[in-house]
Structure 1
């Protein structure tokens, strides 16, 4: 729910939460004013009171920086996953390198978006953990597919995360403003789930964070399992060490 219209003795009042999507709050206000102008409510449109219960941060009231920061994080995750594959890191080394790189990116992003720019609010560590998980979910799929299929797998993982996930994430507006299949698809992919998780922990005290959290954990788990499977297949394909060949008689 993006808002509510209250019809009371003091006139109509529209309740919105622009931190969840400034575009949705603006469209709601325009729609309600249009409805009041056409309907016989006995109240002029300028009598509408708009109350923003959860406004956006002072550093980013329109959510532009929030949306702009999503693509670099997505690309950073894809790059981390690709580099793990291209450098031939497998097994525990690949796993620890990927997780460590994503944790580092998450903390740097929290310093920029939370501490410096004021784009995110709430707890710093909650923001950093959410950002790191978003980057890990974006990195794990290219890493896992790349380890199994080689460079085509990296491309397939990047296509899924960037080409499909980023445009339908709803970060620039709201998932509810996208066509129904596309909005649902975006929330099932790492960029959309990451944007929803960040909004939840930053502005709404973690409300409705369970679904995007599970989506991100699911993508991270799938990618890391594929990375582990590729390591096992590579080990099984390696010839066993049978020692020196016997000398000919």
Structure 2
């Protein structure tokens, strides 16, 4: 018996036994490959989301007012492509200026015997204003007349290019994400739904007031009623934060992640905050204005530069997003209570 064991032992080569590889080696490679592919797709998606709207930007059905002799108005209407400009004739330059002030026109061209006056609204959109200025200069050159540019709705003198408005895009979005993340961490669990909602509302009011103060009194970008503007910004932050809380309450952190991706990759680049809504491709602008970042930017422009003209639409969009978030939280509350009730009903009485 011992001889057989010795023979079996000595028959195994002592120095040539192959070492076993790490357990799950193929699974590790597959997991690593999936992570690399996922990150590459995320970067590509981010580039497309931020790059394509800018690369394909240009006037898209931008309302342009024209006044002057019928021949000049007809020539402009015939020359400009309908997909880029929607030309409306006005009786005189006063009506044209009023249309720009009331946001019925993004700008205008007024022909008279002295030449051509180009009316722009830089605060309504820097890119579209530049396009209207260039268009007026080109038309004046064709007709061998002089062109004078008049900015009807400019940015304040302290920030004539509106750089502060452009820098407000990310703070507005993170103003909706960060409070939701903080409240979920400090007040976890189903029992704190109402506490989180109250915290978001309080932060939205405080955050809107703080951001407006910096933009209006610190940088000098905004020029309007401070309290109205701050309430509008607060509504925009609530329209982001409350749906985030609702998605997490109903679907967990996966729902929060989906909402964050949508707002960062779609809401931010399609907001039109720096360019104005008439500069984005067809369909993209409409989608951007239906998302909280775009609606919040439009409400900010309306309150800060146009005395509230055009504020109703974006305010309605933001209000509906806020109510949708509350509805998600209510649905999560009902589902949890229903599960708790069914478990209590299944427990046998002692």
| Alignment TM-score, normalising by the size of structure 1 | 0.90
Mapping 1:61-72, distance limit 5 Å: 61-72=160-171
CA contact (8 A) 1:81 1:141 kept: no
1:53 aligned partner: 152
How many matched pairs? Answer: 241
Residue 106 (structure 2) pairs with residue 2 (structure 1): yes
Residue 132 (structure 2) pairs with residue 31 (structure 1): no
Q: CA deviation at 1:34?
A: 1.9
2:213 aligned partner: 111
CA contact (8 A) 1:114 1:121 kept: yes
Measured in 2, the distance between the counterparts of 1:31 and 1:7 equals 13
**Cα displacement string for residues 97-148 of structure 1 (whole angstroms, at most 9, x for unaligned residues):** 1111211111111221122221111111011101101111111221111111
- Bigger relative contact order, structure 1 or 2 (CA pairs below 8 A, ≥6 apart): 1
Q: CA deviation at 1:72?
A: 1.4
Bigger drift between 93-102 and 190-199 goes to 93-102
**Cα displacement string for residues 7-64 of structure 1 (whole angstroms, at most 9, x for unaligned residues):** 0111110111111112211111112212333x3x241xxx101111111112221122
1:85 aligned partner: 184
CA contact (8 A) 1:114 1:127 kept: no
1:22 aligned partner: 126
Measured in 2, the distance between the counterparts of 1:7 and 1:233 equals 65
Measured in 2, the distance between the counterparts of 1:17 and 1:206 equals 15
CA contact (8 A) 1:91 1:228 kept: no
Label 1:117 to 1:42 Cα distance change in 2 as closer, same or farther (>3 A): closer
5+ residue gaps, structure 2, are: 1-104
1:126 aligned partner: 228
RMSD: 1.9
Name the SS for the 2:283 alignment partner. helix
Q: CA deviation at 1:245?
A: 6.7
Larger Cα Rg: Structure 1 or Structure 2?
2
Measured in 2, the distance between the counterparts of 1:18 and 1:77 equals 28
**Cα displacement string for residues 61-82 of structure 1 (whole angstroms, at most 9, x for unaligned residues):** 1122101112112112112223
Measured in 1, the distance between the counterparts of 2:166 and 2:346 equals 57
Q: Which runs of 4+ in 1 moved over 4 A?
A: 241-245
1:221 aligned partner: 323
Mapping 1:134-173, distance limit 5 Å: 134-173=236-275
**Cα displacement string for residues 165-218 of structure 1 (whole angstroms, at most 9, x for unaligned residues):** 010111111110110111111111111111110110111011111111111111
Measured in 2, the distance between the counterparts of 1:5 and 1:165 equals 33
